Amino acid sequence: MYKVFVNDKPLFLTNQISKETDFQLFLLDSIDIEQVIVKMFQNKIKKAYLYHPDESVIMKTLKAKIAVNKAGGGLVYNKKGEVLFIFRNGKWDLPKGGTDKGESIEETAMREVEEETGVNGLEVIKKLQKTYHVFKRNGKYRLKITHWFEMQSSFEGTPKGQLEEGIEKVAWLKPSEIPAALQNSYENIKLLFEEEKLINNK
């Protein structure tokens, strides 16, 4: 099952029909995906499931219905075990951005961390899960697929937010400070920390 966020509301892609009743179920093959997305942005749908019997082609089927943007991002630790966060649009987030032509997704993630925060001395430790969310650009809805990497940094200077990207603040947060920051973050970012076991699954 995949979880795609539309304005922080979950859109599940599934090959199983469950017996819950607090969501709307649509057939992925026949649905007008834009109608569902618009209703989710308008708060008319809080949670939806898109059903397709063959799990192996679910994401491919969705990608055929909506334009896709690929991005890379980093969950970066320093030597003290603190995690690098950025503050933008009133929320805590992690550095990430779209791919440039000819670079690998790992290179994208490292470049974006450096550009958005000024933090360098990066080393990729492992690949984390991908996250999915829908956003609107130039009047069109797009699916952003972000490939995340856990990184370690030897950087000891002062991080600087990339102003042209609207980053107001960059901070190294101690593990004890992360749960409070995640209260004012995005659902996709919370998923990464659940995977990292840095917050309790609620």
Q: Would you list the domain boundaries of the chain?
A: 2-63, 68-195
Q: How many CA atoms lie within 13 A of 178 on its CB side?
A: 23
Are 33 and 48 a contacting pair, CB within 8 Å? no
The whole-model pTM stands at: 0.92
Q: What's the CATH class of domain 68-195?
A: alpha beta
- Distance, CA of 120 to CA of 170 (rounded, Å): 14
Instruction: Report the alpha-carbon distance of residue 160 to residue 172 in Å, rounded.
Output: 11
C-alpha to C-alpha distance for 21 and 193, rounded to whole angstroms: 28
Question: What is the per-residue pLDDT across 48-68, written as a single tens digit (0 to 9) for each?
Answer: 999 999 999 999 999 999 999
Q: Helix or strand or coil: residue 176?
A: helix
pLDDT tens, position by position, 68-126: 999 999 999 999 999 999 999 999 999 999 999 999 999 999 999 999 999 999 999 99
Token digits for 164?
């042209």
